């Protein structure tokens, strides 16, 4: 394969990986910026993906809606379910001031078990099948030379929707009044409180947004990678956490990190057709491990300069003024 | 209407203590009114009531002649009251503008708009000479500028009444001068200022009138121009019933602790919090370091005990240099330490009484054998100390320390440290929170240790404790040793002047 | 602690004896009608009867001696209550789920879950013990870390690395097996422990010396371990025909240690439980009886005070993670040093590392508590296994466990309630309105004269 062919081949795959990763990482960012640590991203993705897949499956079999519309509905449902599921984490963390890591772990364990349980009941097996391929060619844009071939032919609508949502979310977080207030809750809640800002409300918003983004990310994952949903998002939720940390809690860096991690993922499975990498004779798993190892190394050296929100993970007690 | 704010007969209670007991404060429009008092006098509490952080049990507040109810900072803001806190409430990774407008933002079509805000800030900045750089991050600007941001926060919200809580604590002398000018400008423009402070010089420099609180009670209000610093010190410190302790004259022996040119640097504040302090203590005498809280005593002790590294100087115990030794090495070299914060350093709250009593000695042969704890010995030790020091608890040695009262928790620490029988005993506010009987007992213990030839370093904020217990007094002000005194000779009022920075003895 | 446990039982002797009697009636008696040796049955009944009688006797005595004991003042009691409430909530949730899905068989299914390990008498009991072992060890790993203030979410990774090491030694180092029967197994297990310890040391070091959050490094290392495991299996011990690791030599299989006599019908029981119990005892002793444990807990409870006391907080954090990792490594080793169980190079995290979190929380983060909670979970899991006869998916058990963890997390606020009650009591003591223990003793002695 020539170099150009490789790019044509790899780039769309990388983007397809990077988009859900960044979206979910951004969800984690929203939650942490408001002051709540949310490691339940994996579980929320699974719940969103599961219900989304159920919806898509149902709509495929019982209606004649155009498939891209089905995809959009699935994405929306995934987001809504994500919000609802994340409310449990919000309640435990904000109202009950529980240990946020434990609460997150509980959700992570609940989701796959619940998905398998319910899928078995409905389908008799734990897989939720999806009939259609959601690849599409975007009209007009696909005719642009080079770029059209890479980005707009054989693409997923979920990828584009993901990108749009990402941009909107970043704008909301950094350019609006509520976004400013939300970020203050995670850095210095005492300061925000002394200015009359409602910490509880904004933290709920932060967690719910992370739920929406993770839930939607789950559906994007399913649409992009599989012909079915099998109660797993292959650790994407935790990889998104790594993206968040590696990206030092900054949206631009998150995109870079997501592209890097996505790239690693893609090469691990496609290296056979890339002559240069094939010659290296490195196993798939080495590429898959790299993002995690890289994150640890980064953490070891920059923990002092990390931009993690200062008050994330600590329940806010308004009694202690 | 002469008074812009009136706080009448305010009483604010916390469990077991009356922080404000029938206090009245009346602020005239356009004046700088100082609120003076020692630690624990109730100044911060009173202002927290005014700013809506606490609700008083009794009393009313009037603003511009009308009675109001202030339940939270938003209410206070709506009446034009703003507070510049002692510990800044700023978001470190936001810009100056963002911090100032937080909660009060302009938006256009839903998006944040800073242009108008920057304009208004620049106007205010020029008007009151509050120089700030609107687009800089808080983490990158000086402490002085951070304080100006806090002030601008209030002015941006059109505050008419500004409360400053110990504003000069973190400023350099130059920044203090600038602040004084800023306050004068504020009043020229018709604002009214309440200044919480314990520094008499500053009161003399800028205030019009001064109200004094002592132990939660309102002592009186004076006109600053016509009142001497001595008189204000007397009101602050007061004449109390003295507990004259029966003690022999000290018989000091060899030097136990020698501190030479000790300095401690604080990275966050970017200045020395302890500067070139030198002193020594001999066996058989009690040296008490007096001073208002926040003048470097904490950091000095941390430097001596090893909890914080020193940036300069030398510390020796019985001739051995421990300037850079570990905490355990210093403990073994002969230091016992009753710490200032009993919950942070002195106790493991989730451990039982007996386990806390061996916190410093669990590794000694008495309490363990080849790594295994000797529970029998631990219990005997605990029962003994409970008896000796009258530590009251419902379950004795197995009581969970977390549930014990503050006073009894303190007794646990005192018992443990005194029992260690080391050459140097450091006690930081050892009688804080104890009842009269317990205080008397602790003082007796300290004197007994002194008579047994130990060197005792006592840090205290209570002047009668300072006067009665110590054999020598050293006053710290702004991180420096400003004088050493003989308690038999110096008066409380004179000490008060040194503590408040009005006087210093040049060595 | 022994004292307080006594207090708990003795104060609630009515409730407990009623509960025990019901338990006997419902679960043990019916098995008379299922084929089992009646001798075994009568022995079991006799033991149960004697235990009950003994407990009731002790209750009565203690109640006489301590009339003023109040349950709300015991932190231990409230913690146990919290765990039990969490369990009840989880089980209820499962019941509701089953009712929604299959109302007709819901209650039957529910009772199968609750009976759990007793469904098939000693056979299922033995199986239950076998399944509990890795969970107990995983739970111990997490409990030990908790006690020292750390959240070892990386237990799965340590477990995985331990499992690989054990299998590797089991496959490749057969020469050792010729020296002595148990040596091969022992070396394999020991290797698992060491590698687990090293894998746990990494987050420990990073936390102690670089202040990196151990949750994050733990999660990262879980995935590294997962991939490394797949990689190494395929490279060194791969069985192509079945897409799994090669068989371990017989000499590396966990010995039965004669437990087959106690549990004759169980096909799975092995000596792993002995290892688990030994570890429980060792960790209990370390935490409660040694200066080392004293230091570890002090660092975990209050790092500032530990510094004040001259302890080396950083070193202790690393030690804690090493021990924690060792336990997780043992869990992995025991899971796979079994005939017929194969490590597979699939990219999925081994779940036992996470269920260990539930076990630890339920067991109040103590070694013995974890043992009990682990056995309880094993029982639940057995129940789930037998549920399949009724058209229910065994995953319901995982759902229940997840809800239990969630409910446990909420239960922390119960502790604050206890502290408040205790504080009130101490305030009264301070004011001289209540006698201290000593004064009470004096009064009792005084009145006897």
Please determine, for residue A23, whether its predicted confidence score (pLDDT) is greater than 70: yes
Domain of C42 in residue numbering reads as 12-69
Residue C437 lies in a domain: no
In whole angstroms, what is the distance from residue B253 CA to residue B283 CA? Answer: 5
Q: Minimum mean pLDDT among B140-144, B170-174, C100-104: which range?
A: B170-174
pLDDT band for B241, please (50, 70, 90 cuts). Answer: very low
Alpha-carbon separation of residue C74 from B101, C79, C197 (angstroms): 49, 9, 35
At A210, is the secondary structure helix, strand, or coil? helix
* Nearest CB neighbour to C75, from listed B344, B359, B400: B400
**Nearest-angstrom CA–CA distance, C185 and C254:** 6
Residue C406: which of A88, A288, A299 has the nearest Cβ?
A88
Give the residue extent of every domain in chain A.
3-305
Q: How large a percentage of chain C has pLDDT more than 70?
A: 75
Angstrom distance (rounded) from CA A154 to CA A136: 5
Residue C444 lies in a domain: no
Percent of chain B whose predicted confidence (pLDDT) is above 70: 95
Contacting subunits of B (3+ beta carbon pairs below 8 A): A, C
Domain A3-305, second-level architecture:
Orthogonal Bundle (1.10)
Mean pLDDT of B167-184: 80
d(CA B330, CA B323): 9
Task: Name the residue facing A177 among B77, B89, B112 (closest C-beta).
Answer: B112
pLDDT tens-digit readout, B117-138:
899 999 998 888 888 898 999 9
Report the sign of the C-alpha dihedral through residues A93, A94, A95, A98, in that order: positive
Q: How do strand B192-197 and strand B32-36 relate by DSSP bridges?
A: parallel
Query: What integer pLDDT is reported at residue A317 of this predicted model?
Result: 65
Q: Measured between beta carbons, which residues in chain C are less than 8 angstroms from residue B349? A: 301-302
Most confident of B251-255, B391-395, C259-263: B251-255
Residue A294 confidence (pLDDT): 87
Q: What pLDDT digit, counting tens, does each position of C36-55 carry?
A: 555 555 655 666 677 678 77
Same domain membership, residue C125 and residue C44: no
- As a whole number of angstroms, the distance between CA C131 and CA C338 comes to 12
- Determine the average pLDDT of the residues in C141-164: 93
Contacts of B110 in chain A (CB under 8 A): 176-177
* Contact (CB<8Å) B363/C75: no
Q: What's the mean pLDDT when you consider all of chain B?
A: 86
Percent pLDDT > 90 in chain B is 36
Write down the pLDDT at residue C447.
46
CATH number at residue C400: 1.10.3470
Residues in contact with B134: Cβ distance below 8 Å, sequence separation at least 6, in sequence order: B95, B96, B97, B118, B121, B122
- Testing the interface with B: which of A35, A174, A177 to mutate, by most B Cβ within 10 A? A177
Q: What is the pLDDT of residue A295?
A: 86
Q: How far is A181 from chain B (nearest CA, A)?
A: 7
In degrees to the nearest 10, what's the CA dihedral of A309, A314, A320, B5? Answer: 20
d(CA C164, CA C188): 10
Mean pLDDT of C91-120: 80
Q: What is the pLDDT of residues A170-215, one digit of tens each?
A: 999 999 999 999 999 999 888 888 888 889 999 999 999 999 999 9
Average pLDDT value for chain C: 80
Indicate if the pLDDT at residue A35 is higher than 60. yes
Looking at the structure, do residues C43 and C143 belong to the same domain, yes or no? no
| Per-residue pLDDT, B507 | 45
**Average pLDDT for residues C64-74, to the nearest whole number?**
62
How confident is residue B437, by pLDDT bands cut at 50, 70 and 90?
Answer: low
Which pLDDT does position B242 carry in this prediction?
Answer: 43
Residue C26 is predicted with a pLDDT of 54
- Residues in A closer than 8 angstroms to C398, CB to CB, are 109-110, 112-113
* Residue C23 pLDDT exceeds 70: no
- Joined tokens for residue C84: 């039990």
Mean pLDDT of A113-142: 78
In degrees rounded to 5, what are phi and psi of residue B441? Answer: -65, -45
Residue C399 included in any domain:
yes
Domain match, C271 and C404 both: yes
Per-residue model confidence as pLDDT tens digits over C241-276? 888 888 878 777 887 776 666 666 677 778 888 899
Which range, of A63-72, C17-26, C157-166, averages the lowest pLDDT?
C17-26
**Residues C61 and C210 reside in one and the same domain:** no
Residue partners of B206: CB distance under 8 A and separation at least 6: B32, B180, B183, B184, B195
A201 touches B at CB < 8 Å: no
Touching check for A307 and chain B: CB below 8 Å? yes
Interface test with B, best of C286, C294, C311 (most B CBs within 10 A): C294
| Residue where a domain stops, chosen among C69, C98, C114 | C69
pLDDT of B198 over the 80 cut: no
> How does pLDDT run across B79-111, given as a tens digit for each residue?
999 988 877 889 988 999 999 999 888 888 888
Pairwise pLDDT comparison (C22 vs C230), residue with the higher score: C230
Q: Reduced to 3 states, what is the DSSP secondary structure of residue B17?
A: strand
- Mean pLDDT calculated for residue range B346-362: 92
Do the domain assignments include residue C429?
no
A107, A44 Cβ separation under 8 angstroms? yes
B416-421: average pLDDT: 92
- Between chain A and chain B, the number of residue pairs with CB atoms below 8 A apart is 62
Residue A321: pLDDT band (50, 70, 90) is very low
Q: Tell me the pLDDT band of B389, cut-offs 50, 70 and 90.
A: confident
Same domain, C61 and C184: no
The residue of B349, B394, B407, B412 whose CB has the most chain C CBs within 10 angstroms, and thus the best one to mutate to test that interface, is: B394
Decide which of B398 and B297 is more confident. B297
User: Is the domain of C336 the same as that of C267?
Assistant: yes
- Which of A36-40, C109-113, C358-362 is predicted least confidently? C109-113
A320 has a pLDDT exceeding 50: no
- The Cβ-side half-sphere exposure at C93, using a 13 Å CA radius, reads 20
The answer to whether residues C20 and C100 belong to one domain is: no
Same-domain check for residues C153 and C202 = yes
N-terminal to C-terminal alpha carbon distance within chain C: 32
pLDDT at A229: 79
pLDDT of residue B392: 79
- For residues B221 and B31, the answer to whether their CB atoms sit within 8 Å is no
Distance CA A18, CA A104 (A): 23
Do A206 and A89 meet the contact criterion of CB atoms below 8 Å apart?
no
This model of the complex carries an ipTM of 0.84
B396 at interface of A, judged by CB pairs closer than 8 A: no
**In this structure, is residue C421 part of a structural domain?**
no
Contacts of C423 in chain B (CB under 8 A): 403, 405
C428 occurs within a structural domain: no
Query: Is the pLDDT assigned to residue C407 strictly greater than 80?
Result: yes
What letter would DSSP give residue B502? Answer: S
Which of B73, B89, B105 is closest, CB to CB, to A180? B105
Question: Which residue in A has a C-alpha nearest to residue C215's C-alpha?
Answer: A101
Contacts of A303 in chain C (CB under 8 A): 210-212
Sheet with B312-317, strands from edge to edge, namely B271-282, B255-266, B312-317, B320-321
At residue C377, the pLDDT reads 87
The conformation of residue A40, written as its DSSP 8-state character, comes to T
8 Å CB contact between A287 and A264:
yes
Instruction: Mutation target for A interface from C230, C364, C381, C406: give the one with most A CBs within 10 A.
Output: C406
User: C248 and C388, same structural domain?
Assistant: yes
For chain C, the domain total comes to: 2
């Amino acid at each position: 394969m020539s170099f150009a062919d490789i790019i044509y081949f790899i780039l769309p795959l990388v983007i397809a990986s990077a988009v859900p990763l960044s979206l979910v990482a951004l969800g984690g960012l929203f939650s942490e910026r408001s002051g709540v640590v949310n490691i339940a991203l994996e579980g929320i993705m699974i719940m969103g993906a599961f219900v989304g897949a159920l919806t898509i499956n149902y709509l495929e079999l019982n209606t004649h809606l155009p498939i891209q519309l089905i995809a959009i509905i699935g994405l929306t449902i995934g987001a809504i379910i994500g919000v609802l599921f994340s409310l449990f984490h919000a309640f435990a963390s904000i109202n009950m001031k529980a240990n946020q890591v434990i609460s997150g772990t509980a959700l992570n364990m609940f989701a796959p078990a619940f998905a398998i349980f319910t899928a078995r009941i409905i389908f008799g097996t734990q897989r939720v099948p999806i009939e259609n391929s959601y690849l599409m060619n975007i009209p007009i844009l696909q005719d642009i030379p080079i770029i059209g071939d890479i980005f707009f032919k054989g693409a997923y609508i979920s990828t584009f929707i993901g990108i749009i949502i990402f941009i909107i979310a970043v704008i909301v977080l950094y350019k609006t009044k509520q976004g400013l207030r939300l970020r203050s809750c995670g850095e210095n809640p005492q300061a925000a409180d002394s200015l009359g800002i409602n910490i509880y409300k904004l933290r709920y918003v932060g967690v719910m947004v992370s739920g929406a983004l993770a839930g939607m990310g789950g559906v994007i994952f399913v649409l992009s990678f599989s012909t079915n949903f099998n109660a797993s998002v292959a650790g994407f939720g935790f990889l998104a956490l790594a993206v968040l940390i590696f990206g030092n809690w900054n949206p631009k860096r998150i995109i870079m990190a997501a592209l890097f991690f996505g790239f690693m993922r893609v090469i691990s499975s496609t290296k056979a057709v890339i002559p240069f990498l094939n010659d290296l004779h490195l196993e798939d798993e080495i590429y898959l491990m790299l993002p995690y190892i890289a994150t640890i190394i980064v953490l070891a050296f920059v923990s002092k300069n990390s931009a993690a929100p200062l008050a994330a993970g600590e329940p806010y007690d308004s009694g202690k003024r | 209407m002469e008074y812009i704010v009136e706080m009448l007969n305010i009483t604010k209670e916390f469990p077991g203590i009356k922080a404000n007991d029938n206090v009245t404060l009346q602020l005239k429009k356009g004046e700088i009114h100082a609120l003076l008092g020692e630690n624990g006098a109730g100044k911060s509490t009173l202002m927290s009531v005014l700013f809506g952080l606490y609700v008083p049990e009794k009393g009313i507040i009037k603003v511009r002649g009308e009675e109001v109810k202030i339940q939270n900072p938003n209410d206070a803001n709506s009446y034009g009251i703003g507070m510049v806190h002692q510990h800044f409430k700023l978001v470190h990774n936001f810009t100056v503008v963002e911090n100032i407008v937080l909660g009060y933002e302009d938006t256009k079509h839903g998006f944040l708009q800073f242009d108008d805000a920057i304009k208004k800030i620049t106007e205010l900045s020029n008007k009151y000479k509050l120089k700030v750089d609107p687009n800089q991050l808080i983490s990158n600007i000086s402490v002085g500028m951070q304080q100006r941001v806090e002030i601008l926060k209030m002015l941006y919200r059109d505050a008419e009444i500004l409360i400053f809580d110990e504003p000069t604590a973190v400023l350099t002398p130059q920044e203090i001068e600038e602040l004084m000018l800023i306050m004068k400008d504020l009043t020229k423009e018709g604002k009214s200022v309440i200044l919480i402070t314990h520094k008499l010089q500053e009161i003399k420099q800028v205030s019009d009138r001064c109200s004094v609180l002592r132990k939660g009670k309102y002592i009186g209000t004076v006109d600053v121009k016509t009142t001497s610093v001595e008189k204000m010190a007397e009101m602050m410190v007061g004449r109390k019933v003295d507990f004259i302790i029966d003690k022999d004259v000290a018989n000091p022996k060899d030097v136990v602790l020698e501190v030479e040119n000790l300095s401690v640097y604080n990275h966050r504040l970017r200045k020395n919090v302890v500067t070139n302090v030198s002193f020594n203590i001999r066996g058989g005498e009690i040296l008490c370091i007096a001073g208002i809280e926040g003048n470097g005593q904490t950091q000095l002790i941390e430097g001596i005990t090893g909890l914080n590294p020193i940036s300069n100087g030398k510390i020796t115990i019985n001739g051995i240099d421990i300037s850079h030794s570990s905490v355990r090495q210093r403990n073994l070299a002969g230091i016992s330490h009753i710490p200032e914060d009993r919950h942070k350093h002195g106790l493991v709250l989730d451990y039982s009484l007996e386990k806390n009593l061996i916190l410093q000695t669990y590794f000694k042969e008495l309490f363990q054998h080849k790594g295994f704890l000797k529970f029998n010995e631990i219990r005997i030790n605990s029962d003994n100390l409970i008896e000796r020091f009258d530590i009251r608890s419902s379950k004795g040695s197995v009581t969970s320390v977390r549930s014990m009262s503050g006073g009894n928790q303190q007794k646990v620490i005192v018992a443990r440290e005194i029992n260690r029988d080391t050459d140097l005993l450091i006690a930081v506010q050892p009688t804080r929170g104890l009842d009269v009987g317990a205080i008397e007992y602790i003082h007796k213990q300290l004197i007994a240790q002194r008579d047994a030839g130990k060197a005792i370093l006592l840090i205290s904020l209570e002047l009668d404790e300072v006067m009665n217990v110590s054999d020598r007094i050293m006053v710290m002000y702004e991180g420096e040793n400003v004088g050493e005194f003989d308690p038999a000779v110096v008066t409380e009022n004179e000490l008060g002047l040194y503590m408040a920075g009005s006087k210093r003895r040049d060595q | 602690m022994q004292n307080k446990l006594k207090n708990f039982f003795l104060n609630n002797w009515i409730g407990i004896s009623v509960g025990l009697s019901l338990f006997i009636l419902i679960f043990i008696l019916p098995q008379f009608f299922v084929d089992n040796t009646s001798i075994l049955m009568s022995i079991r009944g006799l033991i149960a009867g004697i235990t009950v009688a003994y407990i009731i006797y002790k209750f009565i005595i203690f109640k006489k001696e301590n009339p003023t004991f109040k349950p709300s003042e015991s932190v231990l009691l409230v913690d146990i209550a919290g765990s039990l409430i969490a369990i009840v909530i989880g089980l209820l949730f499962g019941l509701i789920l089953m009712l929604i899905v299959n109302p007709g068989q819901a209650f039957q299914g529910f009772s199968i879950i609750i009976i759990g390990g007793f469904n098939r008498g000693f056979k299922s009991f033995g199986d239950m013990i076998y399944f509990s072992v890795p969970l107990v060890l995983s739970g111990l790993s997490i409990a030990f870390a908790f006690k020292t203030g750390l959240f070892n979410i990386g237990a799965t990774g340590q477990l995985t690395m331990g499992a690989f090491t054990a299998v590797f030694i089991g496959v490749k180092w057969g020469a050792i097996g010729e020296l002595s029967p148990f040596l091969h197994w022992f070396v394999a297990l020991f290797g698992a422990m060491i590698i687990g310890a090293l894998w746990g040391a990494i987050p420990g070091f990073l936390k102690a010396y670089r202040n990196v959050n151990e949750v994050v490094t733990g999660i990262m290392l879980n995935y590294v371990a997962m991939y490394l495991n797949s990689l190494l299996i395929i490279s060194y011990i791969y069985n192509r025909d079945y897409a799994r690791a090669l068989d371990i030599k017989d000499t590396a299989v966990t010995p039965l240690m004669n437990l087959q006599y106690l549990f004759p019908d169980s096909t799975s029981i092995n000596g792993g439980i002995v290892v688990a119990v030994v570890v429980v005892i060792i960790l209990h002793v370390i935490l409660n009886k040694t200066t080392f444990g004293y230091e570890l807990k002090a660092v975990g409870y209050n790092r500032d005070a530990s510094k004040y006391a001259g302890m080396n907080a950083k070193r202790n954090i690393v030690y804690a993670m090493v021990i924690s990792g060792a336990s997780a490594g043992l869990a992995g080793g025991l899971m796979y040093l079994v005939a017929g169980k194969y490590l597979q190079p699939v990219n999925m995290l081994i779940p036992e590392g996470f269920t260990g979190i539930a076990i630890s929380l339920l067991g109040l983060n103590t070694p013995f508590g974890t043992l009990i909670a682990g056995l309880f979970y094993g029982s639940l899991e057995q129940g789930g296994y037998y549920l399949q006869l009724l058209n229910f998916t065994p995953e319901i058990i995982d759902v229940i466990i997840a809800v239990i963890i969630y409910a446990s997390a909420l239960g922390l606020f119960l502790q604050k309630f206890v502290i408040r009650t205790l504080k009130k009591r101490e305030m009264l003591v301070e004011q001289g309105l209540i006698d201290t223990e000593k004064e009470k003793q004096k009064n009792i002695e005084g009145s006897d004269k």
